[in-house]
Amino acid sequence: MNKKRHELTDEQWERLKPLLPAQKPKTGRPNLDHRQIINGILWILRTGAPWRDLPDRYGNWKTVSSRFYRWSKLGIWEQISVALQHENDAKGLVDWEVHYMDSTIVRAHQHAAGAKKVMLITRH
């Protein structure tokens, strides 16, 4: 596959590969190549396009989106994030004086979605 702008470099892939689930599950048919799937997910995340607009080179959009959501539900993305942070911290690459929080992973209480609903009565 030719290197595209939104895809993992070989160096990034080598760091990520050992953190992923097995390519071939114990039962059933092998998964579509993890690198191809992740590159498809990166394309979606970086372009903001809908899943249905995913270029064919990444595979069927349903397969790519299914893997993204399944790994999200299983906590795979969070495990990868933690592992990479620990790896970088061990190398002295994490500056703990700098704080960054990505709101996409901050969980709110189920009732935090909105204020108490109030019925408004208007008179004409």
- Greatest mean pLDDT among 3-17, 65-79, 85-99: 65-79
* pLDDT given for residue 107 in this prediction: 61
pLDDT at 1 over 50: no
* pLDDT tens digits for range 12-60: 999 999 999 887 777 777 778 999 999 999 999 999 999 999 999 999 9
pLDDT at 105 over 70: no
- Residue 58's Cβ-count burial label (10 Å; 0-12, 13-18, 19+) is buried
